[in-house]
Amino acid sequence: MASNQNGKKSRKKPEIAERLNRIPSYLFAELDAMKSEKIKEGVDVIDFGVGDPDLPTPEPVVEAMKKAVEKVENQKYPSYEGMLAFREAASKFYERRKGVKIAPDEIIALIGSKEGIAHLPLAYVDRGDVVLCPDPGYPVYPSCTVLAGGTPYYMPLKYENGFLPDLDSIPPETVKKAKIMFLNYPNNPTAAVADREFIKHAVDFCVDGGIVLAHDAAYSEITFGIKAESFLAYGYENVIEFNSLSKTYNMTGWRIGYAAGDIDVVRALLKVKTNVDSGVFQAVQEAGAFAMNECDGWIEKNNRIYEERAKKLVEGLRDIGLDAEMPRATFYVWCRVPEGYTSMEFAKMLLDRAGILVTPGVGFGKSGEGFVRFALTRDVETIERAVERLKNAEIRFKC
């Protein structure tokens, strides 16, 4: 054993698993560090970074939760698959809002959709297997692939393709090794929406290739004048759809979501979950069921607020010469970086000169380079203040 400076023998430290070294630092942790430094300098940072709704959970949902917590039966271990009442509420939600009939037995409760997404590769991926991941995309898709021993294959989402992947360009040898394809529409970070033709092609592609199509539908209800369709409307075979109450009802901290679809895929995910967690707190499930059954009006109210914010921000960004498009869904604006900057350089410039924090597109993958993401999680007054800061800092570009 080696000795330390005090003359005592030091013990060998355990080495972390190689797989952890293959996972990059979580983007939002780095953004938090940048933000903290500016705050220490006395800067009043306007944060458009993390997509955490500033709007409160609907008050009736909070009241339902208060009552549910008091029930003794909710203070015990929950069922692994989720309460029948919660799964029935999700089933009715799908039929009412998406026109898709899916039985409660084809639905399981999740500790937030992120948890289900992260666990799915453990059910299907062995060493040497491939998972098809959108790029740019939610960082959890490739990270959970690596943790399961698989290899991510990145599908570029390009502006000229409407930020839809070109599935037919994936090499045949890669398709043969692929076990899962992750997709996410309406899309984070690009705010793109998938059309019917693409959805049908993606479903058929995965059925033909024996691939699980894992659709992350976390933003399906945040739309402006359009309807975002469920992938399950085009077939259940091989398809699992992850949904969340986080963005739909402003319940990010509640950690409640669900997975629905092909019964074999759902059961495979459930088998993993029975070995790594003990289900979702039943009081949260009761409140979630109440939200899905009773709070459609809150969805429409939220969407009007986000749409107003998007219009105000896009107008302000265009005024200073930036290329920003009005989103049709999600609460994000995906803005092109001006010539001469990388996405990280541009994000740092906005923070340094105007005290505005945005997410550099490269943090979502190599193909996100050239863009930054603004989250519409600040009120109109704050957005107006941010635009005024940009102008006062003389941040302007040629149109």
Last residue of a domain, one of 271, 294, 317: 294
User: Are 186 and 106 members of one domain?
Assistant: yes
Residue 398 banded pLDDT, cuts 50, 70, 90: confident
Count of domains for the chain: 2
pLDDT above 90 for 393? no
CA-to-CA distance for 246 and 236, rounded, in angstroms?
24
Copy the structure tokens of residue 161.
């393709």
What are φ and ψ of residue 275, in 5° steps? -100, -10
Q: Read off the pLDDT of residues 17-73 as tens digits, 9 standing for 90 and up.
A: 989 888 877 667 777 888 899 999 999 999 999 889 999 999 999 999 999 999 999
**Per-residue pLDDT reduced to its tens digit, 306-346:** 999 999 999 999 999 999 999 999 999 999 999 999 999 99
The helix or strand, by DSSP H or E, that contains position 298, with its residue range, turns out to be helix 296-319
Within 10 angstroms of residue 389's Cβ, the number of other Cβ atoms is 17
For residue 196, is it within any domain?
yes
Q: What is the dihedral of CA 64, 66, 67, 72, to 10 degrees?
A: 130
Same domain as 325, residue 230: no
In a domain, 6, yes or no: no
Q: Which domain holds residue 325?
A: 23-52+298-392
- The pLDDT, as a whole number, for residue 396 is 86
Report whether pLDDT(141) > 80: yes
Q: What is the Cα–Cα distance from 315 to 204, expressed in whole angstroms?
A: 40
- Sequence letter at residue 226: I
- pLDDT value, residue 204: 98
Does the structure show a pLDDT above 90 at 263? yes
| pLDDT for the residue numbered 40 | 93
Which string of b and e fits 378-388 if b means at least 16 CB within 10 Å? beeebbeebbe
User: Which of 277, 294, 311 lies at the terminal end of a domain, its last residue?
Assistant: 294
Domain match, 172 and 265 both: yes
> Count of CB atoms within 10 A of residue 110's CB?
26
Same domain, 38 and 109: no
**pLDDT given at position 5:** 60
**Does 250 map to a domain?**
yes
Q: What is the CATH number of the domain that holds 122?
A: 3.40.640.10
Whether 1 shows a pLDDT value over 70: the answer reads no
Q: What is the three-class DSSP state of 5?
A: coil
254 and 150 both lie in a single domain: yes
> Of the candidates 294, 311, 339, which is a domain's last residue?
294
At 279, phi and psi to the nearest 5? 90, 180
Say yes or no: 33 and 104 in one domain.
Answer: no
Specify the pTM. 0.94
Separation of alpha carbons 137 and 31, rounded Å? 17
Per-residue pLDDT tens for 115-132? Answer: 999 999 999 999 999 999
| Residue in the block written with tokens 């790029």 | 135
Query: What amino acid occupies position 162?
Result: G
Percent of the chain with pLDDT over 70: 96
